[in-house]
Amino acid sequence: MRVGVDVGGTFTDFVLLDDATGRTHTYKCLTTPRDPAAAIEQGLRALETELPGCTQALEEVIHGTTLVINAIIERKGARTGLLTTRGFRDVLELGREIRYAAYDAMAEMPEPLVPRERRLEVNERLRADGSVLLPLDAASARAAIASLRAQGVESVAVCLLNSFENPSHELALKQLLAAELPGVPVSISYEVLPQIREYERTSTTATNAYVKPLTSRYLLQLTDRLAALGFKGRLFIMLSSGGVTSATTAADFPVRIIESGPTAAVIAGQYYSRLFDCPEMFCFDMGGTTAKSCLIQHGVAGVVPTFEVGRVQRFQKGSGLTIQVPVVDLMEIGAGGGSIARASRLGTLQVGPDSAGAEPGPICYGRGGTLPTVTDSDLLLGYLDPDYFLGGTMHLDAAAARRGVEEHVARPLGVGYLDAVWGIHDLINETMAAAAKTHVAERGGNPRLVTVAAFGGAGPVHAWGLARKLGAPRLVVPPNAGVGSALGFFTAPRAFDLVRSHKVPLASADYAQLEALFRELEAEGERTLRKAGAEGVVQFTRSVEARFIGQGSETTLPVPPGDFAALDPAVLRAQFDATYERLYGRTYPESAVEFVNFCVRASLPVQLLQLPKIGTRGALAAARKGERRAWCGTARDFVPHTVWDRYRLPADVEVEGPAIFEERESTVIVGAGGRARGDEYGFLWVTLPEERADAG
């Protein structure tokens, strides 16, 4: 038995999987932001009540968390110091010297995680090829370390110029720090990111150091709590790149788990895309705090080498801290159920980006919230049953939600109550659809051909409206979609990604030396997996990142298995030209090409998720719960919606909209003109009407 645990900003989700039968048990509770492990303990105890002895029988706990990204955004990480090469103290503030808003004289840049007084220089210098220009001066290093000790640092980052080619100086500093600052965690760039580009490498290493003590304490505390509950198995953490690694590796490299929670839903969508042969699937995960999306093409979710966190302007690229680690190509396309609605300074309706979160939460939760949210709107529109939220364990206060909408939205805007309520729901759909169209188009997809896959507690509520605005022909809602991220952990491979920079011309490179570099990366990847208790044959996937000499960005080329030294340079060059021309419309055969980065993914075969078939469980009429009047955007009025108990739906039945399908963790809305079909696995496939109606 295995359990997946996804700690989100508002809810913590649990899925307990019995691998022998494929059966699952789910649970959902409010997140405890001050002590995330408390919610995990609560959920496991609840599952233990339902299935006595399950905790002791667990082989694995697979965990995704927002702890790291929240610590960065809220600036609650460790008091961090940075040691760097003389002359490079201000790299974190200089960045790429690019203004994200070229014409905004007051544009605000993010504050570095390490202030200038704790960024200290040491005398040393390596050339671009790794040869020593100036040996490391131990005296200047000890003086810098003494200054950090006097400033009370709790963690130290080390990033020296060109150390990715020669780590000797960084390793020497690591030894000095261990002797001079015993017990203080150290992150060196050669271990965190041995890759070209000084700003990105420094920012990533500093971020790793900033969150390392917090992550280590949390994982240690979680391990102790799990042991106290009788858990004797292994704890794994979801990586931002879509793989799963050990808690030990996550504690050493917490910068790699920044996007661990949202990634899991995408990995689940990738699995479903292959299972049902959906070549274009748009994965849409909307929870209580945020909404994320990813376009999955031909069963593969893209992975990008860099992303941003802690943006000063939430949707403005370039306004955040740059992190250069592999991450699934996610896009934040809106907000979540807790997004706050209000009248803007311009007298228009504004929804988000700030959220009510888990504390105090939406008004209808009755936990002290006073500002109306998307969830309050969904309740007032009739989409949610106030007596069946979280399976009836949490009652929603519709009267209080209405008072909040009237006070903070309807009256300030001078509009009717129903216009305000529908406006909140429709505006968040419109915001997400506009961003989704851009995301799909930039990746060469067509919004009118994708299948929208809905995850999260709020995703199935808003998927119908989002799909209509995209012009998508159909959407699919998996069973237990409200805890879809937690379920996605079971479809992720044990994997670890490694990158090493080494600039060398393609035509004159020593390919035997490059083969040795690949083997070194593969050995490191296998060691990482074995430390996590991995058994079986480790598989390796190789790729190189190449560019025209003098160019500023790289093109990724997959490398076939086998001896790299046996490859023909002319074939690699032809592959580069073909890829470059496909991406940019033309290539430059007369220009020389160089290798920059060498990449390896070490992974174990995925333990396939066996989806149980639901079989026939009685007549369709037995699943009918009754009717509820809910808002219809096309009719601009409340109309009767047939309410169905999703757990009692037989296989291979079709239901016409307007309809509402209820389960404990989420609610599926199907509007007028839609048709929902349940398959043998319990998935709901919803066909949308051909004519597009943005309003509903």
pLDDT computed for residue 615 by the predictor: 66
**Model confidence over 278-328: pLDDT tens digits?**
989 999 988 877 788 899 998 888 888 888 887 777 667 788 889 998 888
Q: Per-residue pLDDT for 358 more than 80?
A: no
Question: What is the arithmetic mean of pLDDT over 413-441?
Answer: 91
For 182, 205, 539, 598, the CA distances from 191, given in Å and listed in that order, are 19, 9, 22, 15
**% residues pLDDT > 70 (the chain):** 98
82/194 same-domain check = yes
Provide the terminal-to-terminal Cα distance of the chain, rounded to the nearest Å. Answer: 42
- DSSP letter at 592 equals -
26/52 same-domain check = yes
Strands of 244-246's sheet in order across: 24-30, 11-17, 2-7, 60-65, 234-238, 244-246
pLDDT computed for residue 315 by the predictor: 63
46 pLDDT band (50/70/90 cuts)? very high
Does residue 122 or residue 436 have the better pLDDT?
122
586/645 same-domain check = no
599/664 same-domain check = no
- DSSP string for residues in 181-230: STT--EEEHHHH---S-HHHHHHHHHHHHHHHHHHHHHHHHHHHHHHHTT
Q: Per-residue pLDDT for 161 more than 90?
A: yes
645 pLDDT band (50/70/90 cuts)? very high
Q: Per-residue pLDDT for 476 more than 60?
A: yes
Is residue 482 assigned to a domain?
no
In this structure, are residues 525 and 599 in contact, taking their beta carbons and an 8 Å threshold? no
695 pLDDT band (50/70/90 cuts)? very low
Work out the number of other CB atoms within 10 angstroms of the CB of residue 685. Answer: 16
652/584 same-domain check = no
Is residue 61 assigned to a domain?
yes
The C-alpha atoms of residue 15 and residue 23 are separated, in whole angstroms, by 10
226/155 same-domain check = no
141/64 same-domain check = no
188/227 same-domain check = no
pLDDT computed for residue 692 by the predictor: 47
Respond yes or no on whether the N-terminal peptide bond of residue 460 is cis (omega within 30° of 0). no
Q: Which two tokens stand for residue 632?
A: 């219809």
Task: Identify the CATH number of the domain in which residue 52 sits.
Answer: 3.30.420.40
Q: Per-residue pLDDT for 561 more than 90?
A: no
Is residue 120 assigned to a domain?
yes
394/365 same-domain check = yes
Is residue 382 assigned to a domain?
yes
589/634 same-domain check = no
Residue 319 CB partners (closer than 8 Å, separation 6+): 100, 101, 107, 108, 109, 110, 308, 311, 312, 313
Residue 451 identity: T
For 73, 75, 164, 184, 251, the CA distances from 153, given in Å and listed in that order, are 20, 15, 25, 8, 19
In this structure, are residues 456 and 666 in contact, taking their beta carbons and an 8 Å threshold? yes
The C-alpha atoms of residue 164 and residue 421 are separated, in whole angstroms, by 55
> What own/partner pairs with CB < 8 Å and gap ≥ 24 does 565-570 have?
565/511, 565/512, 565/514, 565/515, 566/511, 567/511, 569/506, 569/507, 569/509, 569/511
Across the strands, what pairs with 594? Answer: 505, 547
pLDDT computed for residue 359 by the predictor: 76
The C-alpha atoms of residue 658 and residue 622 are separated, in whole angstroms, by 18
**Model confidence over 203-212: pLDDT tens digits?**
999 999 999 9
Q: Which two tokens stand for residue 330?
A: 């996610």
pLDDT computed for residue 256 by the predictor: 92
Of 307, 294, 220, give the one whose Cα is nearest residue 257: 307
Q: Per-residue pLDDT for 616 more than 70?
A: no
Is residue 550 assigned to a domain?
yes
Question: What is the arithmetic mean of pLDDT over 445-461?
Answer: 91
pLDDT computed for residue 491 by the predictor: 82
* Lookup result for tokens 């076939």: 560
Does residue 483 or residue 526 have the better pLDDT?
526
Is residue 583 assigned to a domain?
yes
549 backbone dihedrals φ, ψ, rounded to 5°: -60, 125
How do strand 474-477 and strand 684-687 relate by DSSP bridges?
Answer: antiparallel
pLDDT computed for residue 398 by the predictor: 95
Question: What is the arithmetic mean of pLDDT over 530-542?
Answer: 84
Q: Specify burial of residue 175 (Cβ count, 10 A radius: 0-12, 13-18, 19+).
A: exposed
130/92 same-domain check = yes
89/193 same-domain check = yes
Of the residues 570, 603, 636, the one at which a domain ends: 603
Across the strands, what pairs with 599? Answer: 499, 543
**Model confidence over 372-423: pLDDT tens digits?**
999 999 999 999 999 999 888 889 999 999 999 999 999 999 999 999 999 9
Q: For residue 383, what are the domain limits?
A: 339-425
pLDDT computed for residue 140 by the predictor: 95
- DSSP letter at 110 equals P
- DSSP string for residues in 237-292: EE-TTS-EEEHHHHHH-GGGGTTHHHHHHHHHHHHHHHHTT-SEEEEEEE-SSEEE
Total domains in the fold of the chain: 5
Q: Per-residue pLDDT for 3 more than 60?
A: yes
**What mean pLDDT is reported for the chain?**
90
In this structure, are residues 244 and 236 in contact, taking their beta carbons and an 8 Å threshold? yes
Of the residues 603, 638, 654, the one at which a domain ends: 603
Is residue 91 assigned to a domain?
yes
pLDDT computed for residue 693 by the predictor: 41
617 pLDDT band (50/70/90 cuts)? low
Of the residues 575, 603, 631, the one at which a domain ends: 603
Q: Which two tokens stand for residue 62?
A: 């697979």
694 pLDDT band (50/70/90 cuts)? very low
Is residue 446 assigned to a domain?
no
